[in-house]
Structure 1
């Protein structure tokens, strides 16, 4: 599963706004901080404004801020809203599916379950939880590295060690 740049920029924008709730933020601030095109961010911010997640204030001293509390912004909803589709393979697209295995293939069911699991994890997270970098006395939440194996043989070699 790979998120589009649009989703990535949307999540980065929300995190930046959540971490800077004490002030108005400009699109240029976000663009400079994340080395993202200001033009791309303008589209992201416009869309976030249309769904009442971000408030935009015009004028010389204007800027952006979250319109909702970070605890009310569900990451799974954001990803579903920003992603155009979750077609993991050709067989997910009934109109353009030319795979000869589709009538009897069980891979599609496995991929549907994997996508559902992916989204279920995101559904359990709010923006507020992403803003907590480290709390005293709590273990820092860092994801385990994901190993990418070019083949099952390579994985078997690593597992054998």
Structure 2
């Protein structure tokens, strides 16, 4: 067995996966978009996308605007969003990788993640 075969892979919940997809969609779109655009782009149910967007808005990653000309967009520049932080805030598993546990973290790049 090679070294690559013995490594443990990180598995995200679907909610975290969908959260990252929505944020990537918003970053690439660069303008307000609607829930149905994400459902079509990724084949995710409207219910799941709406739940993810509500959570990301509550966490301060997205801004939602109602009414004509409204939609969803990033609440801050994409370059200020850290993937590690998004995963920590959306993941329901207590510790999915070493760096998520302050007591056992030895990762040299965790401050930049």
**Count of matched residue pairs:** 98
- 1:121-140 aligned at under 5 Å gives the runs 124-125=112-113
**1:116 aligns with one of 84, 87, 98:** 98
What is the deviation of 1:124?
3.6
SS in structure 2 opposite 1:45?
helix
**2:22 aligns with one of 2, 8, 13:** 13
Output one character per residue of 1:58-115: Cα deviation in whole Å (capped at 9) or x when no partner.
0133210001111111100000111112456xxxxxxxxxxxxxxxxxxxxxxxxxx2
Q: Verify the 8 A CA contact 2:88 2:100 in the aligned structure 1.
A: no
Q: Which blocks of at least 5 consecutive residues in structure 2 are unaligned?
A: 1-9, 102-106
**1:62 aligns with one of 70, 82, 87:** 70
Higher RCO, Cα 8 Å, sep 6+: 2
Extract structure 1 runs of 4+ deviating beyond 4 A: 117-123
Going from structure 1 to structure 2, the CA distance change for 1:87 and 1:42 (only over 3 Å counts) comes to: same
Is residue 78 of structure 2 the alignment partner of residue 78 of structure 1?
A: no
Normalising by the residue count of structure 1, what TM-score does the alignment of the two structures yield?
Answer: 0.55
Greater gyration radius = 1
Cα root mean square deviation, aligned? 2.1
Residue 12 of structure 2 corresponds to which residue in structure 1?
3
SS in structure 2 opposite 1:64?
strand
Normalising by the residue count of structure 2, what TM-score does the alignment of the two structures yield?
Answer: 0.76
Structure 2 CA distance for aligned equivalents of residues 123 and 36 of structure 1: 32
Going from structure 1 to structure 2, the CA distance change for 1:122 and 1:47 (only over 3 Å counts) comes to: farther
